[in-house]
Structure 1
Amino acid sequence: MSLSRKRKKQLRRLQKDANQLWEAQQELVGHAAGVAREAGRQLGNFNREQVVPVVQDTYNRRLAPVVNPVVKVGKHVVDDKVVPVIGGVVGSALTAWDVANAKRHGLPSPSSHKKSKKAAKKGGGVGSIIAIVLGAAAAVGVLYAAWTALRADDELWVADDPLSAPDA
């Protein structure tokens, strides 16, 4: 099948038009990418200059008075109540463990401070147990602080105007 000269000329013109359209689209896409980059920069500037200060101010005025005392109380509870109790429990458990090990192996019970210190060093899991317990206590304190802040925040959100039904 051969094409007439007229058809070949029309196809070449169509191909030329398609190539020009493709080039124009590529230029447009490049320009759109540049506009999108600049919009991203401007959005970052707006966020840094406008949004962050408003959010920080709102946090300092509304949430900080609620969250900070709760965090202080949580820290006080962890430092003054939880850590000493857990330290005593872990110490008693390690002493019982040492006594049980001594009896099982037929050794004299560890009574001197030096022996207890060596036994504590050998038990590599002591530090990890304390860390896990302290981490769990800290997580509970953070969850309690967040719950208290959100619970108290619900009372702050009161609508300025009563809701009205839409016009029909």
Structure 2
Amino acid sequence: MSLTRKRQKELDRLRSDAQELWGQQQEVLANANALAAAARKQAAHYSREELAPRVREGYESYVRPAAQSAKDSAGHYAGVARDRLVGDVIPAVGTAVGTALSVVDHARAARSAAFAGDFGKARKEITKKATAASRNSGPGAGTIIAVGLGVIAAAGLLYAVWQTFRADDELWVADEEPATPAGE
């Protein structure tokens, strides 16, 4: 099919207009890419110069003092637990062990006296044992076991708190500035 000269000129003009439009679009895209690169560079500068100091300041003002006070509280509670253990639990356990050993000694003495045939002496040892046990009617074995389990649970809790708050500060905010590309 052959085109007239007029139609051929119109098609050629349309083709050149399309190519010119395509070139203009390529320039617009190139300018948009350059503008986006400049915006990205400015955003990096803004975050480094404005946002990072504000985040650090917020961390230093709010997060670090709260973490420090929690850490100090945990240390305080650990000291109280240690004092309670040394002042209350260990003496109670010592008293219970001493009473149990005393009862065992009186029982042995009563058994050996009964075995030797001296039942009067055996009865006397048994009454000593009963009066010694009633005189030392402090906390029972159940109480001591419960206190021991409580101390173990408190120690586990304090260890968990210590593990939680011993994390490095670098996990929250990096100390060094991020590296910038050499072209900036």
Structure with larger Rg: 2
Higher relative contact order (CA 8 A, sep 6+): 1
TM-score, normalization by structure 2? 0.40
